[in-house]
Structure 1
Amino acid sequence: MAFEKLQPTEVFKWFEEICRIPHGSGNLKKISSFLVKFAKDRDLYVRQDNDLNVIIKKPGTKGYEKHAPVILQGHMDMVAVKEKDAKINMEKDGLDVKTDGEFVWADKTSLGGDDGIAVAYCLALLDSKKIPHPPLEVIITTNEEVGMDGAMALKCDDIEGKRMINIDNEEEGVMIVSCAGGARFHGYLPLTRENKSGIKVKIRVKGLQGGHSGEMIGKGRGNANVIMGRLLLEITDALEVGIISLNGGVADNAIATDCEAELLLMGLASQMHGNIVGPDVSFFSLFGKLSSIAYKVESDFKAELGSRDPGLSIVVEEVHEKTLEPEKTDISNMASVNLDSSVDTFTETHEKREVVSGVIPCAEVIELARCICAMPYGVQSMSSSIEGLVETSLNLGILKIVSSQTGAVEGKGAASQSAGTMDEAFLLDYSVRSSVAPAKEALLRKMEIIIEGFNGIFEVTGEYPGWAYAEKSELRDTMAKVYKELYKKDIRIEAIHAGLECGLFSEKIDGLDCVSIGPDMQDIHSTGEKLSVASTKRTWEYLCEVLKAL
């Protein structure tokens, strides 16, 4: 066991067990069944609903039997992200977890500390015969990361508690008491495919830090999908290119770290009336121009991002026809390329054109690029009442091609007379957040207008309410008092821009008194995610002391 020497052993034991079970959003049958078996093995009350949410109840320990129940709440799904060269199948394989004693992480993937650590805390409490506590009602929801679907569907008829501790915060010493509401915006742009003649190339935006779009959007980090949009706009100003494939990002609420497009390089933009690279324009000249544009866009964004996201890299690759193996080209020296020269030293393989089927024509690539660039992105407004708090934002988390065979391509839009479908489309998937409901609605309407302007259709799903600050909260006061007694300092009481399930449960359970806590985590929703071991221990001790006081 990788974590057998980590403290608290009773928590890391269960966290490692959870990491062995694949549990990305939408892939939760195994982890949900594991939780049900855990409860049944201990003769605890358990209910699993059709959405795979799990509720487990445990009576209060001696002296706490008649105390009011306490709800402990978290979610079982994780944002499953992996590096390009990772061999793991995150649908089937457990994580390759690592530790240096200070942090815990997973090799080349996200860790799922958000929110696996909440599940581990809950299992440790349910398994314990020594820790004093009131009656516990543990609610573990599904698909929180893709719209809070589980919490939305969950019926709470068997929940008696009116005090809830949500364990989905990623900063120790902070008690969250309010959060933003949000929605998912799915924009679909029409596309067609044709047979085209040219030479295949790949272009990839990579090296960005990413992170949770609620917590990190205010940090000004780069988004690979947004950068790809601007890159395609610059490319199509100079060159005729078609798209063969496009894939960027993994989740609407994760800032995209990587975006890759396979392009067909066909000619100069001035030659777009024809579909074949003219004999007077060598492949090297076109490739040099493409690489020079990539270098310029990379330089521009590095200047814009500065130290906020210094790892940005744009890689241009030649795809050889015979092997279809890409050959990476360093674009760092391309600024000095003479783009008008014709170089005869390239092999015949480089110069040989091929007729490729299923190419999205350049006119539609231009429309995609313009739409991405026209769409708002990032922080739209800051709170006027809480210094430093983002009020309204949006994140382009997914940019890819979808078809009716792989999923629904339908929505509303003027071009479709209020509703329509497409056989295949470019998907622009956004997470929209705001702590002010009218601001969220206004932003969504703006996005709808832009999509309609590009003959697209849209769908808004997964809307969830914000969580309003409660002027009076006995739970908040008690937990603040316990923290002060333990650490001789005040806990910070804050609102966050990210969405929490607390808002939904506040609507479902009348009179719910709710807070959110958690241990220190870094770069959640990314392959750089880390969980602090020492913070996990302190947060565990704090949680146990809070339960004693309730």
Structure 2
Amino acid sequence: MSALASLYPQPLWQWFAEICAIPHPSKHEQALSQHIQQWAKSRQLNIVEDHVGNLIIKKPATPGMENCKTVVLQAHLDMVPQKNADKMHDFTKDPIDAYIDGDWVKARGTTLGADNGIGMASALAVLGSTDIKHGPIEVLLTVDEEAGMTGAFGVQPGMLEAEILINTDSEQEGEIYMGCAGGVDAEFSIKAQWQNVPANSQAFQLNIAGLKGGHSGVNIHLGRGNANKLLARFLADNAAKLGLHIASFTGGSLRNAIPREANVVLTVANDKAELLQQQLADYQQLVQLELAAVEPAINFSLTSIAAPTKVLQADVQQRLINLLNVCPNGVMRMSDEVAGVTETSLNVGVISTSDSSIQVLCLIRSLIDSGREQVQGMLSSLAQLAGAEVKFSGAYPGWKPNPDSAVMAIVNQTYQDIYHKEPVVMVIHAGLECGLFKKPYPDMDMVSIGPTIRYPHGPDEMVNIKTVGQYWQLLLAVLERIPAKA
């Protein structure tokens, strides 16, 4: 971590090193929250923890800027806990093993947490500074952004005094975000009914691994393989003709991450075991050919295991396979208004099997409510056809762009003055918290900026060191240009 703390800007990277050292996956942010609270109190900063666990920290203006509009610097406390299958790591106990690799900071075998640890570190660095010019500052650090936006939903009117909010959760230097997608969780459930394992059969675990995964919004348009869908496709083609019997289907770990790994426990008649291996080898060759440009490391494996105690009844198994094979996944529609941006998408994120049911958790995202509602309707129809139940929960609104935003104009002009080129003003296909903040603070002027982060929500996550410095310079220059109160 000491190597990170030597990077520019040093105060930001020092904080990021501390953040990496304290476990903080979604719903387990308490240790990091306590560390920040103790630090803020030692600096005589006004800090409050609200009823859901959000932190609000306030710092007075530097001399001469007392009349400037108050600004909220906003980030989230939690990180996505994803790791490679061969990595021994407990996100609730173990620190992130971050390291410098050329122009990038990465983590060994796990997500890095640059999403949104860099943004959080920048806000804390501003709070701790003595030489940065700024008006009154409020820092809002929310909980559970990655697993349900609990913190953003919990923000109440009157907690904040600011007129301007700068969200630090964007992931591309040179782009300024003025809008984002909303979303809703969709959970299918098929009632499990079981039968005895057929006689004269062998048991195997069928695995898929080596996929890139990534953010189910930012990376959804890249055409990466979805482990759940790829296994479902194989089963749809081979389960009936090979007489396969499924004991369990498990895949993915988060509804907002493209699943990189999945596995099925199954049985097959002794005289069909060799044919199963051949069919899988042929399928792997086919998929490797189809996805060669985006998934060069994809790998299927078939491992002999002890026989399960039971397998799904044939009709339940067929309904599950049909549902997974037919369920839409990926980009549903590209935006007509913002070139190159996904408008509506669906991620078949997590599959789990219990004694009572098989559950499939998806995340629908859309820039427009009608797009989200259309996909909800599609999934409702699919559930009826497959004899499944589907429930929708956790809906959150998108952030509607405001082309007349004053803070957007300030950030845009400041970027041009520093770097002598125009930034790209964008809408992002991800669930920034700004849309939720608009309910308690409808008049708050908002913008989102950040450094370049690649492959968030997966173990390949990395942040570009140079762009962290550029983001920091932009943030400080914007704070210095915040206008006086009306």
TM over 0.5: yes
Q: Which amino acid aligns with 2:273?
A: F
For 1:308, the equivalent position in structure 2 comes to: 294
For 1:515, the equivalent position in structure 2 comes to: 447
CA RMSD of aligned residues (A): 1.6
Shift of 1:310: 2.4
For 1:215, the equivalent position in structure 2 comes to: 218
| Higher-Rg member (1/2) | 1
* Aligned pair partner of 2:394 in 462, 476, 479: 462
User: 3-state SS of the aligned residue for 1:478?
Assistant: helix
Q: Which amino acid aligns with 2:34?
A: S
For 1:473, the equivalent position in structure 2 comes to: 405
Alignment of 1:381-530 (within 5 A): 381-402=333-354, 424-530=356-462
* Aligned pair partner of 1:379 in 291, 316, 331: 331
Q: Which amino acid aligns with 1:520?
A: T
For 1:240, the equivalent position in structure 2 comes to: 243
For 1:334, the equivalent position in structure 2 comes to: none
Please say which of residues 429-438 and 394-403 is displaced more in the overlay. Answer: 394-403
Q: Is this contact kept in 1: 2:438–2:444, CA < 8 A?
A: yes
Shift of 1:50: 2.9
1:151-210 residue CA offsets vs partner (Å, 9 max, x unmatched): 011214121111111001100010001111111111111112333243221111111111
User: 3-state SS of the aligned residue for 2:4?
Assistant: coil
The whole-number CA distance in structure 2 between the counterparts of 1:295 and 1:497 is 36
The whole-number CA distance in structure 2 between the counterparts of 1:318 and 1:361 is 22
For 1:149, the equivalent position in structure 2 comes to: 150
Alignment of 1:359-378 (within 5 A): 359-378=311-330
Q: Please list every run of 5 or more consecutive structure 1 residues that lacks an aligned counterpart in the other structure.
A: 268-282, 322-353, 404-423
For 1:111, the equivalent position in structure 2 comes to: 112
The whole-number CA distance in structure 1 between the counterparts of 2:158 and 2:284 is 54
Q: Which amino acid aligns with 1:204?
A: N
What is the percentage of aligned positions where both structures have the same residue? Answer: 32
The whole-number CA distance in structure 2 between the counterparts of 1:304 and 1:101 is 32
User: 3-state SS of the aligned residue for 2:13?
Assistant: helix
Q: Is this contact kept in 1: 2:155–2:437, CA < 8 A?
A: no
For 1:318, the equivalent position in structure 2 comes to: 304
User: 3-state SS of the aligned residue for 1:431?
Assistant: strand
1:450-473 residue CA offsets vs partner (Å, 9 max, x unmatched): 113222212211111111111311
Q: Which amino acid aligns with 1:251?
A: L
The whole-number CA distance in structure 2 between the counterparts of 1:293 and 1:529 is 34
Task: Report how many residues are paired.
Answer: 479
Q: Is this contact kept in 2: 1:232–1:365, CA < 8 A?
A: no
Regions of 4+ moved over 4 Å: none
- What is the TM-score normalised by the length of structure 1? 0.84
The whole-number CA distance in structure 1 between the counterparts of 2:318 and 2:404 is 54
| 1:289 and 2:275 are equivalent in the alignment | yes
User: 3-state SS of the aligned residue for 1:212?
Assistant: coil
Shift of 1:93: 1.0
Shift of 1:147: 2.5
User: 3-state SS of the aligned residue for 1:137?
Assistant: strand
Q: Which amino acid aligns with 1:9?
A: Q
The whole-number CA distance in structure 1 between the counterparts of 2:402 and 2:411 is 15
1:403-459 residue CA offsets vs partner (Å, 9 max, x unmatched): 6xxxxxxxxxxxxxxxxxxxx211111110111211211110110121132222122
User: 3-state SS of the aligned residue for 2:146?
Assistant: helix
1:336-391 residue CA offsets vs partner (Å, 9 max, x unmatched): xxxxxxxxxxxxxxxxxx5x424333442222111011211111111122221211
Q: Which amino acid aligns with 1:506?
A: K
Please say which of residues 241-250 and 496-505 is displaced more in the overlay. Answer: 241-250
User: 3-state SS of the aligned residue for 2:217?
Assistant: coil
Question: Structure 1 residues 402 and 78, CA, compared in 2 at 3 Å: closer, same or farther?
Answer: farther
Q: Is this contact kept in 2: 1:147–1:183, CA < 8 A?
A: no
1:210-234 residue CA offsets vs partner (Å, 9 max, x unmatched): 1111111111111001111112222
- What is the TM-score normalised by the length of structure 2? 0.95
Q: Which amino acid aligns with 2:204?
A: V
For 1:251, the equivalent position in structure 2 comes to: 254
User: 3-state SS of the aligned residue for 1:16?
Assistant: helix
Q: Is this contact kept in 2: 1:240–1:362, CA < 8 A?
A: no
Q: Which amino acid aligns with 2:186?
A: F
User: 3-state SS of the aligned residue for 1:291?
Assistant: helix
Q: Is this contact kept in 2: 1:483–1:489, CA < 8 A?
A: yes
Q: Is this contact kept in 1: 2:5–2:11, CA < 8 A?
A: no
The whole-number CA distance in structure 2 between the counterparts of 1:156 and 1:243 is 51
User: 3-state SS of the aligned residue for 1:255?
Assistant: coil
User: 3-state SS of the aligned residue for 1:211?
Assistant: coil
